[in-house]
Amino acid sequence: MNDIRNALLGVITGDALGVPVEFTPREELRKNPVKGMRGYGTYNQPPGTWSDDSSLTLCLAEALTHPFDLNRIARSFVDWLYHNRWTPHGEVFDVGNTTGAALRNLKEGATPERSGLTGSASNGNGALMRIMPLLFEVKDLDDPMDRYQVIGQVAAITHGHIRSRLSCFYYLDYAISLLQGAQPREAYDQSNQNLLELMDKLNIDDSEAAHFNRLTSGNIDQLEDSDIGSGTYVVHTLEAATWCILNTQNFQESVLKAVNLGEDTDTTAAVTGGLSGLIYTADGIPAEWIQSLARLDDIEHVIDKLNKKYQQGE
């Protein structure tokens, strides 16, 4: 099974589904829900166009085809913003405020360890949206603290606050459970336990840990959609993706549910799509959606290179 292809095509397809309706209110999407791959809309881009979510995911993926190097990863992000690396059609048309500020810091000489913003107000979902390729670098690290250190470093290139780093850990921990054969509910329960144990080892303050209470309560799926946030706040994106996964039965249903939550549609669907791709595989993604993706041949080439490095899909 080609888990790298499943995960990355899941992220990119979800992203592309959400691009045309980004910032659209949920109430409007209830009246005119997204049912398939649309074009134009918010950014006037053709169908299959992905956003900064996939651009930075692909930058990370390409950097990881080489030996792990935080500086190489950071440079690839800067090259995206300033030199249009891994853009769908040759230009950057969307960048988050926190990500943009961090990449400016890098361009001006900051190290990757010090470039990311660390304030509590800088907890957007810009690290979470791009972190999936790192799964294949950390999945065989048995010690959760070792995994957290690597994940935290890569997240903190742009988002250095503990909440963003813990969110990225939770997301990849969920993905690891899926790779190990867990069902979505089982993976959810395991990730809750692992996050609580990690926060205890890290001596995370109770007031900070409380931001994850709705997830770790074990019943996020029981919330009504009116209780699920779909803006850019990282914890809300993590909650929304988990909620979508636990309340759907196939890839198409999960990512469309994410898109139709409204607001930050591309990122909610990209984060959902990464997990959903692992659950239902790329064969579960409608073929017409995959075929519409911009630069599909280039995407498949990077996937092949990652497969060779991590010896997946054999």
Q: Are 302 and 61 in contact (CB under 8 A)?
A: yes
DSSP class of residue 68 equals P
**CA proximity to 93, closest of 61, 130, 46, 128:** 46
pLDDT at 311: 78
Burial label for 31, CB within 10 Å (0-12, 13-18, 19+), is exposed
Query: How confident is the model at residue 314, as a pLDDT?
Result: 36
314 residues of the chain, pLDDT tens digit each: 599 999 999 999 999 999 999 999 999 999 999 999 999 999 999 999 999 999 999 999 999 999 999 999 999 999 999 999 999 999 999 999 999 999 999 999 999 999 999 999 999 999 999 999 999 999 999 999 999 999 999 999 999 999 999 999 999 999 999 999 999 999 999 999 999 999 999 999 999 999 999 999 999 999 999 999 999 999 999 999 999 999 999 999 999 999 999 999 999 999 999 999 999 999 999 999 999 999 999 999 999 999 999 975 43
- Alpha-carbon distance 62 to 296, whole Å? 14
pTM of the model: 0.97
Domains within the chain, CATH numbers bracketed: 3-116+124-310 (1.10.4080.10)
Spell out the residues 6+ positions from residue 266 whose beta carbon is closer than 8 angstroms to its own.
14, 15, 16, 17, 18, 19, 22, 50, 51, 53
